[in-house]
């Protein structure tokens, strides 16, 4: 699949630079002609000689080191590339790309190329979640740059979280899919549709430093939003408290309370085609919210709570042509409560799970769900990744909107 493909690989200065050696080796084994450009800081982690030996091509690092008088090196590399990969991509290089800086060999080549670009971020979890980095990635994504998201795990800095460079084997598979056209041929079942997804837990303030919330991580809602985008939809993600970085290529509306989430959904309600309520909304909120920190007094404290707005029920009351999907996180009698909820809230589908089951609870990367409609069980899914659950759910929704039951 990669035979004869010319790939320019940019390597920047992070500890993950050592993975570039494996990536070069695997691309070459697949038949690719790999040309490496290193930043000065990348050379602190891995040598030019290593990547030259593996690529069988000269390695470039200095814009002014012109080795062939007949060409300008950075323009030559920019023109010959069928694909440019930046792996690892530091926050600094992503910022340079977003703002058009060209102060070294790699950034200059990236500015000159018209080839497709794939960026493989690798950095500390807090850096990856920083608003500046997220904004820069969104800018690049809007220009057509593709991102291979980092994985989660123990980082070199000692933190555990998202930021670890994707493994070379996975990158090579994605590159193969790109050249085979598979990435462009995903089913676009939701093209022309607007999908609104809620995700995460809501926060109901007691005072400026205390609040009521729940264990939702937002992983399921974010997975649905990403899958909807991949299937061609215009997506709005209304996010409460989430523990994951939302996709960079969709609109994200940040909220805290149940009322804020309801108001945000209503703003997009009229022209939405599918609304998916995957958020874990607090059922109750404090009747009174103190504007200052409440001081400790006595051995007990009574907190008076009142019901929050039932977003799903309200949407069910006002829906017209919208396809409404709810979620039911239960601990017992899952089918009974889920079907009652579907009817009471006028949903088209209800996605239910037993959150006490291993692999199906909050914060898990997997889920075990049953999908119901008014006639009963539509489909029972085994333990799957939340991404796979999202794909299947949206496929069912898309086919039903088209008048066909899957």
Average pLDDT of the chain to the nearest whole number: 91
Contacts of 340 (CB under 8 A, 6+ apart): none
* Residue (of 147, 173, 167, 165) closest to 30 by Cα position: 173
Q: Which of 71, 156, 157, 160 is catalytic?
A: 157
Tell me: is residue 193 an annotated ligand-binding position. Answer: no
165 close to 118: Cβ distance less than 8 angstroms: no
More confident residue, 41 or 359: 41
Residue 397 CA to residue 325 CA, distance in Å, equals 9
64 belongs to an annotated ligand binding site: no
Residue 157 a catalytic site member: yes
- To the nearest 10°, the Cα dihedral for 382, 386, 388, 391? 120
What is the pLDDT confidence band of residue 365, given thresholds at 50, 70 and 90? confident
Chain segment 221-269, per-residue pLDDT in tens: 999 999 999 899 999 999 999 988 787 778 999 999 999 999 999 999 9
pTM: 0.70
- pLDDT above 90 coverage of the chain, percent: 75
Residue 257, number of CB atoms within 10 A of its CB? 21
Spell out the domain ranges in the chain.
6-180, 194-401
Residue with tokens 């390695």: 59
- CA–CA dist 119, 21 (Å, integer): 17
- Please state which of the four CATH numbers 3.90.25.10, 3.40.50.1950, 3.40.50.970, 1.10.3720.10 is assigned to the domain occupying 6-180: 3.40.50.1950
Given this chain, do its domains 6-180 and 194-401 carry the same CATH topology?
Answer: yes
**CATH class of this structure's domain 194-401:** alpha beta
Average pLDDT of span 284-312? 92
What is the arithmetic mean of pLDDT over 364-369?
Answer: 90
Tell me the two tokens of residue 70.
Answer: 């007949």
Predicted confidence at residue 83, as pLDDT, reads 96
pLDDT digits (tens, 9 = 90+) for 100-111: 999 999 999 999
| pLDDT tens readout for residues 302-339 | 899 999 999 999 999 999 999 999 999 888 999 999 99
Strands 160-164 and 204-207: unpaired
Question: Is 219 annotated in some ligand binding site?
Answer: no
Which residues contact residue 166 at a Cβ distance below 8 angstroms, ignoring those fewer than 6 apart?
A: 120, 148, 149, 150, 151
DSSP, residue by residue, 15-64: GGGGHHHHHHHHHHHTT-EEEEEE-TTGGGTS-HHHHHHHHSS--B--TT
Asked whether the predicted pLDDT for residue 183 surpasses 70, the reply is no
Q: Consult the annotation and say whether 6 binds a ligand.
A: no
Which secondary structure element, helix H or strand E, spans residue 128, and what is its range?
A: helix 125-128
Q: What is the CA radius of gyration of the chain?
A: 24
pLDDT of 186 strictly over 60: no
178 is in an annotated binding site: no
| Residue 404 pLDDT class (50, 70, 90 cuts) | very low
Burial class (CB in 10 A: 0-12, 13-18, 19+), 310: middle
């Amino acid at each position: 699949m990669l035979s004869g493909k010319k790939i320019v690989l940019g390597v920047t200065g992070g500890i993950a630079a050592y993975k570039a050696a494996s990536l070069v080796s695997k691309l070459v084994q697949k038949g690719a002609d790999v040309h490496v450009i290193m930043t000065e800081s990348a050379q602190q982690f891995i040598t030019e000689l290593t990547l030259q030996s593996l690529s069988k091509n000269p390695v470039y690092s200095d814009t002014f080191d012109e080795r062939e008088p007949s060409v300008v090196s950075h323009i030559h590399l920019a023109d010959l590339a069928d694909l440019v990969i930046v792996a690892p991509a530091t926050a600094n290089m992503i910022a340079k790309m977003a703002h058009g800086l060209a102060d070294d060999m790699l950034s200059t080549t990236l500015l000159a190329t018209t080839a497709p670009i794939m960026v493989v971020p690798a950095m500390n979890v807090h850096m990856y979640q920083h608003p500046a980095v997220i904004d820069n990635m969104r800018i690049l994504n809007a220009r057509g740059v593709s991102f291979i998201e980092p994985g989660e795990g123990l980082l070199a800095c000692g933190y555990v979280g998202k930021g670890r460079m994707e493994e070379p084997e996975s990158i090579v598979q994605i590159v193969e899919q790109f050249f085979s056209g598979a990435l462009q041929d995903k089913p676009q079942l939701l093209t022309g549709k607007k999908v609104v997804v809620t995700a995460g837990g809501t926060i109901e303030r007691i005072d400026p430093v205390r609040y009521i919330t729940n264990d939702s991580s937002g992983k399921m809602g974010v997975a649905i939003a990403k899958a909807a985008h991949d299937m061609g939809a215009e997506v709005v993600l209304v996010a409460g408290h989430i523990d994951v970085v939302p996709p960079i290529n969709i609109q994200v509306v940040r909220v805290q309370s149940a009322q804020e989430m309801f108001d945000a959904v209503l703003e997009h309600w009229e022209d939405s085609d599918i609304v998916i309520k995957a958020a874990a909304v607090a059922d109750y909120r404090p009747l009174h919210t103190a504007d200052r920190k409440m001081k400790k007094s006595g051995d007990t404290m009574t907190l008076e709570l009142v019901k929050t707005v039932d977003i799903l029920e309200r949407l069910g009351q006002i829906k017209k042509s919208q396809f409404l999907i709810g979620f039911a996180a239960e601990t017992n009698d899952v089918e009974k409560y889920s079907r009652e909820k579907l009817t009471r809230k006028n949903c088209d589908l209800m996605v239910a799970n037993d959150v006490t089951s291993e692999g199906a609870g909050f914060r898990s990367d997997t889920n075990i769900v049953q999908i119901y409609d008014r006639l009963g069980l539509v489909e029972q899914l085994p333990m799957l990744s939340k991404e796979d659950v999202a794909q299947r759910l949206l496929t069912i929704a898309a086919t039903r909107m088209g008048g066909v039951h899957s």
